[in-house]
Amino acid sequence: MFTITRLANTPPESIDSQIMQLVIDYVTDISMVGIAPSNPLYPLYQYGVGHEVHQYLQAMDGSRGMPVELIVALDAEDPSIVAGFLLYLPVQDDPQACAVAYMAVRAARRRQGIARTMLEKMLERYPHAELACFVGKVPYFEAMGFQVLSARGPQVVMNTRDRQTDGLLAVLDVAPIYSSVEVRQIHAYLLNQHGKRAMVDAEKQRDRHLDQMTRQARLFVMGRLAANDPQSPTQ
């Protein structure tokens, strides 16, 4: 069993550190790159996405001037254990809207309704919600009332309504993370460990995978929208 808690301020270190570990463990699912653990670039994205989430958690103290909220699922028997988390961004100028930024559930605690319950908790407060996911996850979110709107790179944009909000969604600029000294140091370490050829191949593998997922998302959305459009010539 588990309990659900919504946090409006920066989480304590005990929760923060467990969230960071969940990001590191499940970066393939969380990152829009979908980097595979077998790719030599994997540690670089573990750091990069982890730092993205860390910055959003730090922004919950109001220092960045942007709204950030967090829902955590805690183990019912041991509330010190984080079973999952959902970090989302309320939309400015639209009190009913938000966007999911990151979500993860421990592998051992999946299929217990944790993700669904966290999303339901968020929707109680913000019924007009948006998220982006890979094609394989679309049926899961459709079962929770989200519908397909469009393709965004390798992901499918889904919303609880048939349109996006007109409000302003404030997001952090994460580009500096991937040009930081720390990322360059990680890349240099990986280059020394694997060799130049392996790293070039890793980048090509990542790019091919991204291209494939982008095509898949675009074709999936085109097919889904055509199937739902009674005026479509394919009907």
- 131 to 70, 119, 126, 150: CA distances (angstroms): 15, 11, 13, 11
Could you tell me the pLDDT band of residue 69, with boundaries at 50, 70 and 90?
Answer: very high
* DSSP 8-state secondary structure symbol assigned to residue 91: P
CB of 56 closer than 8 Å to CB of 133: no
Give kind and range of the element (H or E) at residue 158.
strand 155-159
Q: Confirm whether 108 is domain-assigned.
A: yes
Tally of structural domains, the chain: 1
In the sheet where 2-7 sits, what is the strand order?
A: 2-7, 69-75, 82-90, 97-105, 128-133, 155-159, 147-152
Gap between the Cα atoms of 94 and 55, Å rounded: 24
Whether residue 231 is predicted with pLDDT greater than 80 in this model: the reply is no
Q: Confirm whether 233 is domain-assigned.
A: no
Gap between the Cα atoms of 200 and 161, Å rounded: 42
Report the pLDDT value the prediction gives residue 232, as an integer from 0 to 100.
Answer: 53
- Summarize pLDDT for 132-143 with one digit per residue, the tens: 999 999 999 999
Q: Confirm whether 186 is domain-assigned.
A: yes
- Phi (first) and psi of residue 86, to 5 degrees: -135, 115
- Phi (first) and psi of residue 147, to 5 degrees: -125, 155
Residue 70 exposed, middle or buried by CB count within 10 Å (0-12, 13-18, 19+): buried
- 233 to 42, 150, 218, 220, 226: CA distances (angstroms): 43, 19, 18, 17, 8
Domain limits for position 101: 2-228
Gap between the Cα atoms of 219 and 190, Å rounded: 35
Q: Confirm whether 234 is domain-assigned.
A: no
Gap between the Cα atoms of 188 and 52, Å rounded: 21
- Summarize pLDDT for 155-187 with one digit per residue, the tens: 999 999 999 999 999 999 989 999 999 999 999
Q: Confirm whether 131 is domain-assigned.
A: yes
* DSSP 8-state secondary structure symbol assigned to residue 212: H
- 59 to 86, 103, 130, 203, 216: CA distances (angstroms): 15, 17, 20, 31, 34
Q: What is the mean pLDDT of residues 212-224?
A: 96
Could you tell me the pLDDT band of residue 228, with boundaries at 50, 70 and 90?
Answer: confident
CATH code, domain carrying 44: 3.40.630.30
Q: Confirm whether 133 is domain-assigned.
A: yes
What are 99's two structure tokens? 């966007």
Gap between the Cα atoms of 143 and 141, Å rounded: 5
What are 9's two structure tokens? 């301020």
